[in-house]
A and B are shown apart, each in its own frame.
Chain A
Amino acid sequence: MALLNDIPWFLIAASVAKTLFLIFLVVLPLVSYTVYAERRVSALIQDRLGPNRTGFPISLFGFKKDLQLVLGGLGQPIADAVKFLLKEDFTPGHVNKVYFWMAPVLAMVPALSTLAVLPFGNYMFGQKMVVADVNVGILYVFAIASIGVYGIVLAGWSSNSKYPFLGGIRASSQMISYELSLGLSAVPVLMILGNLNLSDAIDYQVKNGWLLLPFTDGKLSLRELLLWVPVLISFIVFSISMFAETNRLPFDLPESETELVAGYHTEYSSMKFALFFLGEYAAMIAGSSVITVLFLGGWHIPFLPVNTLESSMTAPGAVLGLVHITAFFAKVAVLLGIFIWVRWTLPRFRFDQLMKLGWLYLFEIALVNIFITAAILALVR
């Protein structure tokens, strides 16, 4: 197997297979069902029911009644997708056409690209379950994720109308502000790991316990206990920044329906709007995955054996690999649930409050946190 890995075409084929698996079998279904979960959970929180019945409208073809399956509302994402594909793709006359068409793609692509470096599973069939196991891992994530703002800014600017413009401006200032605290809050974690590679980050957590829950390896040293404090601060700042970075409530000022109609995508319709929508949720999934990898041990399950390159070729190894992939996406799903839960609890920040929080608090906390971590790492062995 190690021999096979040296052949270029095999490497390319394996990467393509992993990409196709990740995008089409995991992320896109996860995106559509996150939208569904968002609608259901928001409804339940507000004492409603949400979409709980989706039938096939065969009455359109002359049948007496629509076909209702036992799916309940689970068919809703399919219906949404069909609706988006069949709607008129309207381009208003006053827009800058080139950028207007480019913006939705720029919103969707970076969100999916970040997933390339995220290890979503253990070894399986002699393959590391990560599309690109690059050494700059987390830097790549930050670099690509910050491109996401171009989609929003271009959409706001090229729409040539007031509300999208305001949304675009807000997005640019907000995302640039929170990029700082996002990057700085990850630095203590990287100092502890001593490595930027995300696969190695998980290997470290397999050996020493998850960063956020250092007792998952069964023991808790003084060093781990002391490091727990900066990691906890780091986790909170990172999560808050991630909310702002993905434009989720309470920081969804670029979109803010109540003030700006729909913000940057006011002028968009049909599949172009859907790309923004899917991009937002894909960014949420990417963000949750980064949090999972950095703080929650990635695919690792405590006290469960870990595949090696050799054992992954056997049948039990394959099962274990599947279990680990499932564990990763289960953790991501839990984080997505928290994203949704927070969205339907908190009201939106005012813009000056948002800026104040980012620049006056989170930035400083993240900066001080780096020094605390450095001191602990230097003093306690």
Chain B
Amino acid sequence: MAYTVRRPNLTFWEKLYIPNIIAGLAITLRHLRKMLAGETHVVMQYPEEKWDANLPEYYRGAPTLVMDQHGREKCVSCQLCEFICPPRAIKIKPGSIPAENQHAKVEKAPEAFDIDMTRCIYCGLCEEVCPEQAIFLRKDYAITGESRAEMVHHKAKLYELGGTMPNLVHKWNPDK
């Protein structure tokens, strides 16, 4: 059933439309004046002023791999992030820690770890799912490149972006 929309009863001045036009013009003029006087501060002039100082704590930037405080890679190449990644941006080739390392045979490590940044949607599910707290979304937001190949972050680049993050779970330390 059709229903009628009640139209507001306008006064003569409102029907004349002109007073409202003048009021509107006054509003835009006020905004113009405030911008010219420099009283409005809403614009961030991007290349000169960066977001970095203003990013919130929960900001999800580029996914990165992190090392623990002893410089060991935390990732054990369980591939959970690869499986959960909705756009399938992550490709992991599992491997083992080299035999000359003292931790060889203690854990596994990724031989190759690629994140395709042209596919990544910054959802953070990889960080969520990681049992080893090895992958984190850091605050890098300007990920650029001149080719598709350049937009794939390999393992070295991921560790460079990620840096170190002390363990919350002391898996390697029997005393704690």
| A interface list, Cβ under 8 A from B | 41, 44-49, 341-342, 344-346
Residues of B within 8 A of A346 (CB): 21, 24
CB-nearest residue of chain B relative to A250?
A: B21
Decide if A45 touches B28 in the complex (CB within 8 Å). Answer: yes
Residues of B within 8 A of A345 (CB): 21, 24-25, 27-28
Contact of B25 among A41, A46, A48, A341 (CB under 8 A): A341
CB-nearest residue of chain A relative to B30?
A: A45
A47 to B40, CA, bound (A): 7
Residues of B within 8 A of A41 (CB): 32
Decide if B28 touches A47 in the complex (CB within 8 Å). Answer: no
Across the A-B interface, how many residue pairs have beta carbons closer than 8 Å? 34
A48 to B40, CA, bound (A): 9
CB-nearest residue of chain B relative to A52?
A: B45
6 contacts between A and B (CB under 8 A): A45-B32, A46-B31, A47-B35, A48-B42, A49-B43, A341-B29
Q: Looking at chain B's contact residues, is the secondary structure mostly helix, strand, loop, or mixed? A: helix
Residues of A within 8 A of B27 (CB): 345
Decide if A44 touches B25 in the complex (CB within 8 Å). Answer: no
Contact of B36 among A44, A46, A48 (CB under 8 A): A44
Per-residue 0/1 for B23-61: is the Cβ within 8 Å of any A Cβ (1 yes, 0 no)?
Answer: 011011101101110001011010000000000000000
Decide if B24 touches A44 in the complex (CB within 8 Å). Answer: no
| B interface list, Cβ under 8 A from A | 21, 24-25, 27-29, 31-32, 34-36, 40, 42-43, 45
A78 to B34, CA, bound (A): 29
* Residue among B35, B40, B43 having the largest count of chain A Cβ atoms under 10 Å: B35
Query: 4 shortest A-B CB distances, which residue pairs?
Result: A44-B35, A345-B28, A45-B28, A345-B24
CB-nearest residue of chain B relative to A44?
A: B35
Closest beta carbon of chain B to A353's beta carbon, Å: 10
A44 to B31, CA, bound (A): 7
Closest beta carbon of chain B to A285's beta carbon, Å: 22
Closest beta carbon of chain A to B74's beta carbon, Å: 39
Decide if B43 touches A47 in the complex (CB within 8 Å). Answer: yes
Residues of B within 8 A of A47 (CB): 31, 34-35, 40, 42-43
Residues of A within 8 A of B45 (CB): 49
CB-nearest residue of chain A relative to B34?
A: A47
Residues of B within 8 A of A48 (CB): 42-43
Knowing that A47-B42, A49-B45 are A-B contacts, what are 9 other residue pairs whose CB atoms are under 8 Å apart, sorted by A's residue number?
Answer: A44-B31, A44-B32, A44-B36, A45-B31, A46-B31, A47-B43, A345-B21, A345-B24, A346-B21
Residues of B within 8 A of A342 (CB): 25
CB-nearest residue of chain B relative to A353?
A: B17
A147 to B35, CA, bound (A): 40
A343 to B125, CA, bound (A): 46
CB-nearest residue of chain B relative to A342?
A: B25
A222 to B21, CA, bound (A): 32
CB-nearest residue of chain A relative to B27?
A: A345
CB-nearest residue of chain A relative to B21?
A: A346
Closest beta carbon of chain B to A346's beta carbon, Å: 6
Residues of A within 8 A of B28 (CB): 45, 341, 344-345
Closest beta carbon of chain A to B60's beta carbon, Å: 27
